[in-house]
Amino acid sequence: MATTAEPRSDRNFVSLEPVAPFPQQQQSRWWYIDLLRIFGVLGVVLVHVCSRYQHYLDDTAGMEFWSVNFLNSICRGATALFIMVSGAMLLRHRPNQSVEGFYRRRFRRIGIPVAFWTVVYLGLRWIAGHHGSHEPVNYYAEQVAAGTPFWHLHFVYIIAGLYFFTPYLRRAIDALGNQTSLVLGISCLALASANLLLDYYLYGGLEETALSRFVPYIGFYILGYVLLGPSHLERYKWPALAIFITGFVVTALGNGWRQPILDKESIYYQYLFPSIALKIVALFILIRVFCGSLRYPTGAPGKLSQQLAAASLGVYLIHPLFLEAFERAGLNPAEVPPALGIPALTFMTFTLSVVATLGCKRLPYLRGVVGG
d(CA 260, CA 368): 42
Kindly indicate the confidence band of residue 133, based on its pLDDT and cuts at 50, 70 and 90: low
Pure H helices in 91-236:
99-106, 112-128, 136-145, 154-176, 178-198, 218-226
DSSP state of 230: B
Structural domains of the chain, count: 1
In a domain, residue 17? The reply is: no
pLDDT, tens digit (0-9, with 9 covering 90-100), for 10-45: 433 333 443 333 333 344 468 889 999 999 999 999
What residue numbers bound the domain in which 101 lies? 24-370
pLDDT of residue 371: 84
Q: Is the pLDDT of residue 355 over 90?
A: yes
pLDDT, tens digit (0-9, with 9 covering 90-100), for 182-226: 999 999 999 899 988 887 877 676 567 888 889 999 999 999 999
pLDDT of residue 364: 85
pLDDT of residue 6: 41
User: Is residue 178 within 8 Å of residue 13, measured between CB atoms?
Assistant: yes
In a domain, residue 5? The reply is: no
- For the CA atoms of 11, 272, 290, 35, the dihedral, rounded to the nearest 10 degrees, stands at -100
User: Is residue 337 within 8 Å of residue 64, measured between CB atoms?
Assistant: yes
Judging by beta carbons within 10 Å of its beta carbon (0-12, 13-18, 19+), is residue 271 exposed, middle or buried? buried
In a domain, residue 3? The reply is: no
Nearest to 32 by CA among 70, 11, 5: 5
d(CA 253, CA 219): 26
pLDDT of residue 29: 66
User: Is residue 370 within 8 Å of residue 361, measured between CB atoms?
Assistant: yes
In whole numbers, what is the pLDDT of the chain averaged over residues? 86
In a domain, residue 8? The reply is: no
Q: 302 vs 14, 166, 356, CA distance in Å?
A: 35, 30, 20
pLDDT of residue 10: 41
User: Is residue 276 within 8 Å of residue 269, measured between CB atoms?
Assistant: yes
pLDDT, tens digit (0-9, with 9 covering 90-100), for 79-108: 999 999 999 999 987 878 888 999 999 988
In a domain, residue 40? The reply is: yes
Nearest to 26 by CA among 293, 358, 349: 293
pLDDT of residue 9: 40
d(CA 63, CA 216): 35
In a domain, residue 7? The reply is: no
Residue 150 DSSP SS3: coil
